[in-house]
């Protein structure tokens, strides 16, 4: 858990509220948080959803596992502590995107429940956040693909390496995955096409007033 290091810092609220920004931009921000095992389909579904939303003119941006580790989180590894910090930073960044009026799509294994819950809390309790107003929607989407299916897909050969003992602390093999207890949406890719998963996500966004259908 990270601590506040700096002292003598003061929050500057700015001149407009979140509601004023969203109304002027005709946008509603939120974070859609995809979680699930490696190769469960998070990136595939989030990318297809992003493509659909952008083609409709919805301001949307995808934050993706490995990509973030090339930049913002390049100094973090896969220990429990580093995984927690990885997710905390992504939660904070997604929250800023959402606050700006963007639909932030995050696709990270995010295996630990408490790390995801912290990100939810960051969003839902952000009343005095960057521009005031109430909290923001945090929509947890569990991409529920059985490990046997993920392992058969193994697009990056990571399960094979983990089984061979060449990769330590791999989620689902020798590191736990804690499934969400109350996700807003559960996708079952072994019996849903990518398109069907996208439609389920769009339905959820519409039900929460983020987009119109």
User: Does 110 contact ligand ADP by CB under 6 A?
Assistant: no
Of 103, 95, 123, whose CA–CA distance to 62 is shortest? 103
Of residues 170-209, those binding ligand ADP (CB under 6 A): 189, 192-194, 197
Q: Minimum Å distance from CB 3 to ligand ADP?
A: 31
CB contact at 8 A, 83 and 10: no
Catalytic residue, chosen from 38, 43, 107, 197, is 107
Element housing 104 (H / E): strand 103-107
- Based on the residue annotation, tell me whether 47 is a catalytic residue of this protein: no
Per CB under 6 A, the segment of 38-46, 121-129, 164-172, 200-208 that binds ligand ADP is 38-46
User: Does 146 contact ligand ADP by CB under 6 A?
Assistant: no
User: Does 36 contact ligand ADP by CB under 6 A?
Assistant: yes
User: Does 101 contact ligand ADP by CB under 6 A?
Assistant: no
* Neighbour-count burial of 183, counting CB atoms closer than 10 A to its CB (0-12 exposed, 13-18 middle, 19+ buried): middle
Q: What angle do CA 38, 39, 43 make, to 5 degrees?
A: 95
For residue 59, what are its two tokens?
A: 């301001």
- Which residues are near ligand ADP by CB under 6 A? 36, 38-45, 107, 153, 155, 189, 192-194, 197
């Amino acid at each position: 858990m990270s601590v506040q290091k700096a002292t003598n810092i003061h929050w500057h609220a700015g001149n407009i509220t979140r509601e004023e920004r969203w109304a002027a931009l005709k946008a509603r921000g939120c974070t859609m948080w995809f979680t699930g095992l490696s190769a469960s389909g998070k990136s595939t579904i989030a990318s297809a959803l992003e493509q659909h939303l952008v083609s409709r003119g919805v301001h949307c941006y995808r934050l993706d596992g490995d990509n973030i580790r090339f930049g913002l989180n390049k100094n973090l590894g896969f220990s429990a502590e580093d995984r927690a910090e990885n997710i905390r930073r992504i939660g904070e960044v997604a929250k800023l995107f959402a606050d700006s009026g963007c639909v932030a799509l995050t696709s990270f294994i995010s295996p630990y429940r408490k790390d995801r819950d912290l990100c939810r809390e960051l969003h839902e309790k952000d009343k005095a956040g960057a521009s005031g107003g109430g909290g923001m929607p945090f929509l947890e989407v569990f991409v529920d693909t059985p490990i046997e299916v993920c392992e058969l897909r193994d697009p990056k050969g990571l399960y094979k390496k983990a089984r061979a003992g060449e990769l330590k602390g791999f989620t689902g093999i020798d590191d736990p995955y804690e499934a969400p207890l109350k996700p807003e949406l559960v996708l079952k890719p072994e019996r849903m096409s990518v398109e069907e998963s996208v439609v389920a996500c769009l339905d959820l966004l519409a039900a929460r007033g983020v987009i119109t259908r």
